[in-house]
A and B are shown apart, each in its own frame.
Chain A
């Protein structure tokens, strides 16, 4: 029997309403006076506040002209005489644009226009009949436009100018527009009661029937508005439920599809827009993160900064977040995260007299388990981060308002809001938030953030206007517009009913960011340790009378911290952002070399004896590593002490090379591709290899739109053939080391592997020298271990985390790629294998197999990502006791901290804890020593005299001569000088 599908082709009543709503919006402006003498000058920003100008200079800009250039900044000017008939009226500036434009009138910053707002109230700034306009615009062809569908069709580098106007507004029309914006959102949303939506559709139609759109009269619009008040708002037959706190916020990526230099203006525009809204709406409160953005405003726009301080003082503008920037929270080490808080909080204290009590990271790609302790010791009791609730790809994160317990047992109050951090405060978004909220019974209110973001811009007049109407609608959840900190204290503080999450806040997405842009990760690791070295040697030199380079170190540290921003270090950005970061890294490296200097003797900056094999650069050395000559030696240098290194050249009869390579520790069978068939441990009398081991694996890596961000669980579906271009051969054999080299490759890339075995170390090092020219390929080194275990242990930089290696439940299935720091280990109780790296963070763990992620080749946002030359190393370290007794932490430190020269010594080595830093306090009156427990033990250190116990902000908490510590605790002591 034929089936004829009935398709309605005639206009539905709802479409008739939408049409009329569109027509009504055309009458928002009573009168528009076109500014016809506007001039524009094209430029390109090359540094903060610095521009290269196109040679054409200023040119007239008329409606219909093309404006903006790729990566362009445009400067506009006009002197406008206010027409007589508009003088004395409430006057607005109107400009519809796809760009982001900061508007200055008669020397005052009056606001901003962009795709989310097209007018600015001028009246408060009119002090004469002539208005001098100065505007700066940055084109906005950026992906977050997708949240504003109207601007999608005009996304691009070249824009058509639609005219700029002085205008007056018909507030009667505008009022009704806001009513209808609100009511139509409910009418179109299936989240609300169907009967109520039918009621709305009917009554909105009735209201609009009062307007003759062929001859629109304001009094008819007023009648329609009255009808809405009397019939729709007055109706309370339909009851909603819920309790939603509305928190105004704008997420500002300081670099992403734009360079950091552009965020100076993005930040100004965002803050200006919020300040102007505060002027008009005294109840409006707004949250803004990142001390760095405040610093930029203060530096370049001091007048606006002074205004901002007033709004902070009156409680409307709320600094949140405590940190210097919103960093990635997987890859930076503990000390970097501590500095994010220290520099952030010191700034907020100095400028605003506030210690910010919350950490605010809406967009961060997962959060390390070490964070709660760092928060608590940085004066922060609350943690806010959105992504786990809205972006997890496998499991629904089970809490929104809860307690987060950290690796050391520290607890903070945590809020993972149920919905995205970018909303436009519409009823359907608020209802969705309430419905998604999982702690309705014990968590108090739910948090709904509103405001446009990613590139800043924030809240709009419309968001506030609709918010003022929410309490007229019985169908909506109860709402309250409060500050971020008010929400946290009201709902989480002392709430005994909150559930507890004990573990990392792993994001089940963006797993590729542990690996994308490998060079940045390598530099970050290297410079984190180099900063440590610089502070230690500077402190010890200061004790001998030298000046401590406070300003220089602070400046360098901040530069590193900026580059740990969550779209910089993770690699999710365009090519110019990468170039900026690499230039910063090179500059930091050079400046740190200058601070560290050199000496006659080698200096062990670690606070334990360097007793493991180390490569020490020496132009006359007999080995080569990373292209530099040197020797492999066991320094045997006591902690924080300098001395000579004795290198005894002996003969090379410690190993035999045949079918097997026999060392004092192993009998090894290599394959021609550098993979290892067998590692037989001569001491433990056991085999370590359980399958493919040290096998280079290349996989087609097609994660989709989130290319730089994601690795999908299907990445193993298609392997890319790795050819042996030059089979493994012996290239070096001396008294300490034997090296073997092979060259592998694809059609477009070559991969040299240099594998080293040692006389005095159980380590087997693999140096990788890669010329990488792939697209959508993930490179991993796989290690199938002859180890029976269900757990792997990963370094976090301040303690270790155990992770399941089975796939029993969806929670383990989702964690197929995780973040680690210097090492990962799979062990039985009497031994196992650690893989220690010098620059890698991503690792896959499955049953008895570890796969270290080495390189990716993504094309969005950066087509050129990771193409080029790479060098990195890792060390395979079989051990015969557990990883603590095997001193894997010590070995990993020694592997990552190069042995440099400085003629310095420190008397105290501070026991079994690891020294994260030794520095002069920010005030310069104390030596600050930070120690972390990383082996899961508790104990005490007797210090032989009174010291101050400090928090991470360098506030004195107590005085003691003994430091008691518990597993994974980070302790800071201050020694007065």
Chain B
């Protein structure tokens, strides 16, 4: 799962100025760290749902993605 997030999902989010890092995967809960543009995206829930469906299709696993957002100081108002 870590390789999948870091090698398959990450480059796609980076393509939109975002950043995702694997944090943990336990009991169907996939925790990821979102930075860059993702950290302030107002509609990131749509993207999280997309990640869940991508994981289901490619890994055959039903996961719930929990996103931790790390906004840089200059957007943290």
Partners in one complex: yes
Taking the complex as formed, is A50 at the interface, i.e. its CB lies under 8 A from any CB of chain B? Answer: no
Q: Which of B25-46 contact A (CB under 8 A)?
A: 35-37, 41-44, 46
Bound Cα distance from A145 to B17, whole angstroms: 14
Taking the complex as formed, is A155 at the interface, i.e. its CB lies under 8 A from any CB of chain B? Answer: yes
Q: Is the interface of B mostly helix, strand, loop or mixed?
A: helix
How many residues of chain A have a CB within 8 Å of chain B? 33
Q: Smallest Cβ distance from A378 to chain B, in angstroms?
A: 35
Q: Which of B59-73 contact A (CB under 8 A)?
A: 72-73
Query: Taking A574-B14, A576-B11 as contacts, is the C-beta distance between A157 and B47 under 8 angstroms?
Result: yes
B12 contacts A158, C-beta separation under 8 Å: no
Interface window among A203-211, A534-542, A662-670, A855-863:
A855-863
Q: Smallest Cβ distance from B44 to chain A, in angstroms?
A: 7
- Pick the residue among B47, B74, B75 that contacts A70 (CB under 8 A): B47
A156 contacts B12, C-beta separation under 8 Å: no
B17 contacts A70, C-beta separation under 8 Å: no
Taking the complex as formed, is A957 at the interface, i.e. its CB lies under 8 A from any CB of chain B? Answer: no
Taking the complex as formed, is A704 at the interface, i.e. its CB lies under 8 A from any CB of chain B? Answer: yes
Of chain A, the residue at the smallest CB distance from B21 is A863
Q: Which range holds the interface residue count of chain B? A: 20 to 34
B43 contacts A71, C-beta separation under 8 Å: no
Taking the complex as formed, is A66 at the interface, i.e. its CB lies under 8 A from any CB of chain B? Answer: yes
What are the residues of chain A within 8 A of B36 when measuring CB–CB?
A: 574, 859-863
- Pick the residue among B47, B72, B74 that contacts A158 (CB under 8 A): B47
Q: Which of A35-70 contact B (CB under 8 A)?
A: 44, 55, 66, 69-70
Bound Cα distance from A177 to B73, whole angstroms: 41
Query: Taking A70-B18, A863-B19 as contacts, is the C-beta distance between A156 and B41 under 8 angstroms?
Result: yes
What are the residues of chain B within 8 A of A44 when measuring CB–CB?
A: 12, 15
Taking the complex as formed, is A705 at the interface, i.e. its CB lies under 8 A from any CB of chain B? Answer: yes
Q: Which of A846-875 contact B (CB under 8 A)?
A: 859-864
Of chain B, the residue at the smallest CB distance from A139 is B16
Query: Taking A141-B37, A860-B72 as contacts, is the C-beta distance between A156 and B15 under 8 angstroms?
Result: no
A141 contacts B50, C-beta separation under 8 Å: no
B12 contacts A70, C-beta separation under 8 Å: yes
Of chain B, the residue at the smallest CB distance from A859 is B72
What are the residues of chain A within 8 A of B35 when measuring CB–CB?
A: 859, 863
A141 contacts B12, C-beta separation under 8 Å: no
What are the residues of chain A within 8 A of B12 when measuring CB–CB?
A: 44, 69-72
Q: Smallest Cβ distance from B13 to chain A, in angstroms?
A: 5
- Pick the residue among A70, A143, A860 that contacts B13 (CB under 8 A): A70
Query: Taking A156-B47, A859-B72, A860-B36 as contacts, is the C-beta distance between A141 and B16 under 8 angstroms?
Result: yes
Q: Which of A680-710 contact B (CB under 8 A)?
A: 702, 704-705, 707
A156 contacts B42, C-beta separation under 8 Å: yes
Of chain A, the residue at the smallest CB distance from B48 is A158
What are the residues of chain B within 8 A of A155 when measuring CB–CB?
A: 41-43
Q: Smallest Cβ distance from A792 to chain B, in angstroms?
A: 32
Bound Cα distance from A69 to B15, whole angstroms: 11
Taking the complex as formed, is A259 at the interface, i.e. its CB lies under 8 A from any CB of chain B? Answer: yes
- Pick the residue among B11, B13, B57, B73 that contacts A157 (CB under 8 A): B13
- Pick the residue among A69, A139, A575, A705 that contacts B74 (CB under 8 A): A705
What are the residues of chain A within 8 A of B72 when measuring CB–CB?
A: 707, 859-860
Taking the complex as formed, is A142 at the interface, i.e. its CB lies under 8 A from any CB of chain B? Answer: yes
B13 contacts A71, C-beta separation under 8 Å: yes
Taking the complex as formed, is A154 at the interface, i.e. its CB lies under 8 A from any CB of chain B? Answer: yes
Query: Taking A71-B12, A859-B72, A863-B36 as contacts, is the C-beta distance between A574 and B43 under 8 angstroms?
Result: no
Most chain B CB within 10 A, of A69, A139, A153, is at A69
Q: Smallest Cβ distance from A713 to chain B, in angstroms?
A: 17
Query: Taking A69-B50, A863-B36 as contacts, is the C-beta distance between A576 and B42 under 8 angstroms?
Result: no
A70 contacts B16, C-beta separation under 8 Å: yes
Q: Smallest Cβ distance from A579 to chain B, in angstroms?
A: 9
Q: Smallest Cβ distance from B69 to chain A, in angstroms?
A: 13
Contact bitstring A117-148, B, C-beta under 8 A = 1, else 0: 00000000000000000000001011100000
Taking the complex as formed, is A883 at the interface, i.e. its CB lies under 8 A from any CB of chain B? Answer: no
Bound Cα distance from A72 to B47, whole angstroms: 12
Bound Cα distance from A803 to B16, whole angstroms: 40
Q: Which of A155-193 contact B (CB under 8 A)?
A: 155-158
Q: Smallest Cβ distance from B18 to chain A, in angstroms?
A: 7
Bound Cα distance from A69 to B42, whole angstroms: 16
Taking the complex as formed, is A257 at the interface, i.e. its CB lies under 8 A from any CB of chain B? Answer: yes
Of chain B, the residue at the smallest CB distance from A259 is B15
Of chain B, the residue at the smallest CB distance from A257 is B17
Bound Cα distance from A158 to B46, whole angstroms: 6
What are the residues of chain B within 8 A of A153 when measuring CB–CB?
A: 42
What are the residues of chain A within 8 A of B9 when measuring CB–CB?
A: 70
Most chain B CB within 10 A, of A69, A70, A156, is at A70
Most chain B CB within 10 A, of A153, A154, A860, is at A860
Most chain B CB within 10 A, of A157, A158, A258, A575, is at A157
Query: Taking A70-B18, A156-B41 as contacts, is the C-beta distance between A704 and B74 under 8 angstroms?
Result: yes
B43 contacts A154, C-beta separation under 8 Å: yes
Of chain B, the residue at the smallest CB distance from A98 is B43
Bound Cα distance from A55 to B53, whole angstroms: 13
Q: Which of A439-481 contact B (CB under 8 A)?
A: none
What are the residues of chain A within 8 A of B46 when measuring CB–CB?
A: 66, 156-158
What are the residues of chain A within 8 A of B16 when measuring CB–CB?
A: 70-71, 139, 141, 157, 257, 574
What are the residues of chain A within 8 A of B37 when measuring CB–CB?
A: 141
Q: Smallest Cβ distance from A829 to chain B, in angstroms?
A: 46
Contact bitstring A561-593, B, C-beta under 8 A = 1, else 0: 000000000000011100000000000000000
Bound Cα distance from A153 to B43, whole angstroms: 8
Query: Taking A71-B11, A71-B12, A156-B47 as contacts, is the C-beta distance between A574 and B42 under 8 angstroms?
Result: no
B50 contacts A158, C-beta separation under 8 Å: yes
Q: Smallest Cβ distance from B17 to chain A, in angstroms?
A: 5
What are the residues of chain A within 8 A of B13 when measuring CB–CB?
A: 70-71, 157
Q: Smallest Cβ distance from B60 to chain A, in angstroms?
A: 14
Of chain A, the residue at the smallest CB distance from B43 is A156
A141 contacts B17, C-beta separation under 8 Å: yes
What are the residues of chain B within 8 A of A707 when measuring CB–CB?
A: 72, 74
Bound Cα distance from A154 to B16, whole angstroms: 14
Bound Cα distance from A165 to B42, whole angstroms: 28
A576 contacts B15, C-beta separation under 8 Å: yes
Q: Smallest Cβ distance from B8 to chain A, in angstroms?
A: 11
What are the residues of chain B within 8 A of A142 when measuring CB–CB?
A: 17
A575 contacts B41, C-beta separation under 8 Å: no
- Pick the residue among A69, A576, A702, A860 that contacts B14 (CB under 8 A): A576
B47 contacts A71, C-beta separation under 8 Å: no
What are the residues of chain A within 8 A of B47 when measuring CB–CB?
A: 70, 156-158
Of chain B, the residue at the smallest CB distance from A258 is B15
Contact bitstring A729-763, B, C-beta under 8 A = 1, else 0: 00000000000000000000000000000000000
- Pick the residue among A55, A702, A705, A861 that contacts B17 (CB under 8 A): A861
Bound Cα distance from A705 to B44, whole angstroms: 21
What are the residues of chain A within 8 A of B74 when measuring CB–CB?
A: 702, 704-705, 707, 860
Of chain A, the residue at the smallest CB distance from B73 is A702
A71 contacts B73, C-beta separation under 8 Å: no
What are the residues of chain A within 8 A of B75 when measuring CB–CB?
A: 705
What are the residues of chain B within 8 A of A860 when measuring CB–CB?
A: 36, 72, 74
Most chain B CB within 10 A, of A143, A155, A158, is at A158
A575 contacts B14, C-beta separation under 8 Å: yes
22 sample A-B contacts, Cβ–Cβ < 8 Å, listed by A number:
A66-B50, A69-B50, A70-B12, A70-B16, A70-B47, A71-B12, A71-B15, A71-B16, A72-B12, A153-B42, A155-B43, A156-B41, A157-B16, A157-B47, A157-B50, A158-B50, A258-B15, A576-B14, A705-B74, A859-B35, A860-B36, A862-B36
| Interface, chain A (partner B; CB < 8 A) | 44, 55, 66, 69-72, 139, 141-143, 153-158, 257-259, 574-576, 702, 704-705, 707, 859-864
7 new A-B pairs (CB below 8 Å) besides A139-B16, A158-B47?
A71-B11, A72-B12, A153-B42, A157-B18, A574-B17, A860-B74, A863-B35
Nearest 7 interchain pairs by C-beta: A71-B15, A158-B46, A156-B43, A70-B12, A863-B19, A71-B12, A575-B14
